[in-house]
Structure 1
């Protein structure tokens, strides 16, 4: 079932060195680990494929996306078995994520059957206009070229080989070269088999999709610095993403780097809501914080609550709910080690009090909760840095003015959440301009884990949540990352793209 090879332009090839996967259960498997030679072959094939693939009709590209979804579903049992062994994620989670993955592909297939994403514009010629005539000018969005996509550690399907970045790039008309994530290389290979089958079934140029496996930084560096790559999609750590972002900016021809890097996703408890339903909010926060061992980019790691008896009751209820959560397997040994290091960093910060602590064993994670006064939070910016896992910090503010100060102190976020009742409307209205400036998505009376894949979703935000605040990696607007506007002035109709005629 697994070859351990790269898929490059329709061929399964070995190349570079090798590495052995480190699954959560079972024996590891040996995979090829690519480098500059494999990148060059894949990217050159993608460039060759661009001319025919970008010229396909929207209906043809939509059919290709639908076929990829069908092929993934046909391999569902294998994906669940291999994915569960590699990541430790439960069957239900992987089956749900597979549905999200195929759903994204089909959503983009439907989306490109319309023309809204092309932003068609036409200024008709005004030959009699004085003092100068106006030419006929038409505009539409066109695909940028070969795209590099980095698989994510925490979503082996929905944010990896054929995840949202790949689906949106293919929908836009861009060939894709994927760097598979070494945390789940077998899962990535099976998905690549599905894409390869779809390429063959649709009679497309084989360079339209390649998967290169590997460990270390050299492969990623070779991919983002190859002169034929025109844009990059990345989901991962702040340090790794920033390094790649800088490489893209320093290229002889700089290219956009769409990185989703990190967020603590604060939850603000308004006074009336806290008084009326603090215990229920605490239980909901605990469930969201520990979902998937806290390994979601929208994990709500920070709660901001007033000092006083009602805030104390919230802390007690949250501690009780989190204390009942058992150990959960983390995605990799490295993520588990980073989680423990994050706990030590928070615990060593001045003014921080441990509310709930535990002992994490190797790859397992249990919740940690800390409490800190608003003034100490404002004095220690390190507390606002993401800890990937089920770790929460409760910030106790003296009054609403200090809550507002905490909100203003935040770095860019994927999400900010308001827990509010009708009596909180005036205070919440004062916070809204701050929150909408800080985050790409603002929620009321919910929790940010669980990102709806739809037309209106924004999964991005100001840096460091993402490297481009005008972009999203979830929802149909994600296609805009792989398109650029082109104006056509006085071009004969026969030469124009069909949509502009």
Structure 2
């Protein structure tokens, strides 16, 4: 598939008018062709107007047509996986095999959401039939379903250039909900973004849908992103990235004349709590497993386990030595972008200045944007005294916390801000302590893991990738898993409607054959 560097606005290719760039190969530190053009306010307005034009028809497509669109996108991703993985590897330094896995994961997500659409449960169809004889007042017929919010602006992420990018879960779930998508591509992988954008553009065309169902934009600086958030026809935003970037978009959206939801996924250290019996029984294995998962993707994963806490006692030394050995043996590897690399180095300095002691380091960097693996250690009292130590370090670094006793462990757990995940390593003897720790963690995260590690995460019906602030801006929703569709839906009640005017999901004879809640009872009647 030929890359042109153009924007994809509806069915058209458009050369941007606000500048241009070339992709960077961070391994070689050289630019890669072709030139990619930047869009401006004019292109934003065109894409959003098209999306708004598409909304009413797309939101009312049949479940079968919408599911078929998602499956066409999945098939298109499968068809270009080798090419897509090679291009993404050139732009990020990530291994081709890993990126092929990402492409497969993305295709699976689109097929999973196609299944969600066909099942129709996302409509949450609810029927309270009329009761004309009810006393003291008759009840009119009430029927409710969820419909799409409207056009959604999605900001592509940097760290997973396929599965959290143009063809990521945000796009899949928004399209599944019935929302047209305007995708702001991340400038760290513009070629990979264009390839995925073309797949979606072609799938929309092949499905016979309005061209405004999907557009792909690219821009320099903040102008294009701010224009998307400000546009009165945009009805929701998703963002994956830093707390600063996410909250800037969130605040901007709340200052609009008509505030809109911004679903951000921002920062998390995914703490691991090793309870005493588990530590004594398998400290070395836990330490090695934690560090292995921490180093995946050069530590640039939102679910990277970054802080491990263990009570000083039997097994602690074995755990520490295993972590040090794994870090010592790791060679420096290229990070995704120069900006991420520079932020990583700055955050390592912050940890040093806050009192953390470096106890292990991997091989020295050779490439300009290589990230050296680092392991710090600190005692529990210092962590309680210096809260900056528990802030995210995005990259291949971890913090080992030597905790004085069980009470200090609980106290530290209470000091953590919102997290995407938290882990407990436990044995049977630890259950009583785990029961004390569990309610503390439930208040601070959307996913609690036992005897495994936070990364990777399964994409399933029960998956939750969210948590209290600052992990996300709204802990009621997830950005991964089938319930991610709920971000883009709102309820509408139809009162006293004749059957002929009702949406199919609510008609008397249930033509869609979906599960519905009727007078409080779940059935397909």
Which region of structure 1 is more displaced relative to structure 2, 70-79 or 468-477?
70-79
Q: Are residue 488 (structure 1) and residue 490 (structure 2) matched?
A: no
CA deviation after TM superposition for structure 1 residue 219, in Å: 1.0
Tell me which residue corresponds to 1:402. 408
User: Does residue 422 of the first structure (1) align with residue 428 of the second (2)?
Assistant: yes
TM-score, scaled to structure 1? 0.98
Counterpart position of 1:11: 12
Match of 2:22 among 16, 20, 24: 20
Aligned to 2:57: 52
Q: Measure, in 2, the Cα distance between the counterparts of 1:395 and 1:165.
A: 35
* Cα contact 2:63–2:120 (8 A) shared by 1: no
**Partner SS, residue 354 of structure 1:** strand
2:321 corresponds in structure 1 to 316
Moved more, 40-49 or 8-17: 8-17
Unaligned runs of 5+ in 2: 508-525
Over residues 381-434 of structure 1, what are the superposed CA-to-partner deviations in whole Å (9 max), with x where a residue is unaligned?
Answer: 111111101111111111110000010000000000000111111101110001
Deviation at 1:181, TM superposition (A): 0.2
Match of 1:101 in 2: 106
- 2:390 aligned residue (384, 393, 396): 384
Contact 2:276–2:313 under 8 Å retained in 1? no
Q: Tell me the equivalent position of 2:305.
A: 300
The secondary structure found in structure 2 opposite 1:207 is helix
* 1:357 Cα deviation from its structure 2 partner: 3.3
Residues 203-225 of structure 1: per-residue CA shift (max 9 Å, x gap): 11111000001221111111111
1:240 is aligned to: 245
Q: TM (normalized to structure 2)? A: 0.94
Structure 1 residue 135 displacement after superposition: 1.1
Q: Which residue of 1 aligns with 2:260?
A: 255
Question: 2: distance between equivalents of 1:390 and 1:285?
Answer: 12
Residues 107-151 of structure 1 deviation map (CA, whole Å, 9 limit, x = unaligned) = 000111112211111111111222221111011100110000010
Aligned pair partner of 1:80 in 85, 104, 107: 85
Out of 354, 358, 379, the position equivalent to 1:354 is: 358
| Structure 1 Cα separation of the partners of residues 396 and 440 of structure 2 | 26
Deviation at 1:310, TM superposition (A): 2.6
- Map 1:143-154; keep pairs closer than 5 Å: 143-154=148-159
* Residue 71 (1) aligns with residue 73 (2): no
Structure-2 separation of matches of 1:91 and 1:17: 30
By how many angstroms is 1:31 displaced?
Answer: 0.8
SS of residue matched to 2:118: coil
Cα displacement (A) at 1:309: 5.1
Instruction: Output the CA distance in 1 between the equivalents of 2:86 and 2:408.
Output: 49
- Which has the larger displacement, 9-18 or 22-31? 22-31
Partner of 2:473: 467
Aligned residues: 500
Which secondary structure state, in structure 1, belongs to the residue aligned with residue 455 of structure 2? coil
Note if 1:204 corresponds to 2:215: no
Q: Secondary structure at the match of 1:21?
A: strand
Residue 90 of structure 1 pairs with residue 90 of structure 2: no
SS of residue matched to 1:211: strand
Note if contact 2:281-2:315 (Cα within 8 Å) is conserved in structure 1: no
* Contact map agreement 1:23 1:183 (CA 8 A) in 2: no
Q: Tell me the distance in 1 between the aligned counterparts of 2:472 and 2:101.
A: 25
- Any idea what SS the aligned residue of 1:75 has? helix
Aligned partner of 2:115 in structure 1 is 110
Of residues 460, 464, 478, the one that matches 2:484 is: 478
2:22–2:31 CA contact under 8 A, matched in 1: no
SS at structure 2 position matched to 1:443: strand
Q: Secondary structure at the residue paired with 2:421?
A: strand
Q: For 1:341 and 1:193, how far apart are their aligned partners in 2?
A: 37
Query: How far apart, CA to CA, are the structure 2 residues paired with 1:422 and 1:465?
Result: 30
1:172 aligns with 2:173: no
**2:424 partner SS:** strand
- Given the alignment of the two structures, is residue 275 of structure 1 paired with residue 255 of structure 2, yes or no? no
